[in-house]
Amino acid sequence: MTTDQVIFIILSVFTLGTALLVVTLRNLFHAALALMATFLGVAGLYVMLDAGFLAAAQLLVYIGAISILLIFAIMMTRRLMNTTESAFNSQGGASLVTAVIGFLVIAWAVSQFSRVLPQVVQKQVDMKPMSPDVIPYIQSSVAAMGQAFVDPNGFVLPFEIASVLLLAGLIGAIIVAWPKAEDEES
């Protein structure tokens, strides 16, 4: 086994184990902590895939923002200490169907990928004696990603749509939080 494989197995066990804890722990706060650990494990997998930017974004967005929001929600809505919810509910059938469908979709996607994969590997083998114009491209994957975001042939449309969506959310939040006119008079 190579070092990469050992690290991959450790990360996968960590990610899956903490994910299992999320759904089995009875204390909601601890479940939220386990969810953070899961996100951390996923970030580790991204690092293994040489996707450092994605890993940092995962840390910033999922642990730094979404998990904090989750914990705030738990603290605001439940009694503070000793929240012990039952880990199970009566929606086993529906979730089974969803899980099976989700698994099938992912399995199909992965099988498609494995058809593409040999070509990608072959391409990398072909590139082995790296030509000077390929090296900077590979070294600055962040710059390549940034250019792809604003490239008309790349992802400029989804990128712009996402920013419009975020802006709408921002304005919506401000309007919701705006003091109402009749409130001020009362």
Of 132, 179, 181, 182, which one interacts with another protein (CB under 8 A)?
179
Q: Does 167 bind another protein (CB under 8 A)?
A: no
Binding mask 99-138 for another protein (x = CB under 8 A): ----------------------------------------
User: Which of 1, 2, 4, 80 is close enough to bind another protein by CB under 8 A?
Assistant: 80
Structure letter (DSSP) for residue 84: B
> Position of tokens 């967005």?
61
State the Cα–Cα distance between residues 119 and 114, nearest whole angstrom: 9
Nearer residue to another protein within complex by CB, 82 or 90: 82
Q: Which of 30, 46, 155, 159 binds another protein (CB under 8 A)?
A: 30
Kindly list the distances between the CA atom of residue 30 and the CA atoms of 36, 42, 106, 107, 131, in Å, as whole numbers in the listed order: 10, 19, 29, 31, 51
Binding of another protein by 182 (CB under 8 A): no
Q: How far is the CB of 154 from another protein (least distance, A)?
A: 19
**Sign (positive or negative) of CA dihedral 89, 94, 99, 102:** negative
Helices in the chain by DSSP H: which ranges? 3-24, 28-48, 52-58, 67-77, 92-127, 135-139, 141-150, 156-177, 181-185
For every residue of 27-39, which 3-state class applies, written as one string?
EHHHHHHHHHHHH
Residues 36-75 that bind another protein (CB under 8 A): 36, 52-53, 56-57, 59-60, 63-65, 67-68, 71-72, 75
Q: Long-range pairs for 157-161 at CB < 8 Å and ≥24 separation?
A: none
Contact yes or no for 22/67 (Cβ under 8 A): no
CB of 52: closest distance to another protein in angstroms? 5
Footprint on this chain of another protein (rule: CB under 8 A): 29-30, 33, 36, 52-53, 56-57, 59-60, 63-65, 67-68, 71-72, 75-77, 80-81, 139-142, 179, 183-184
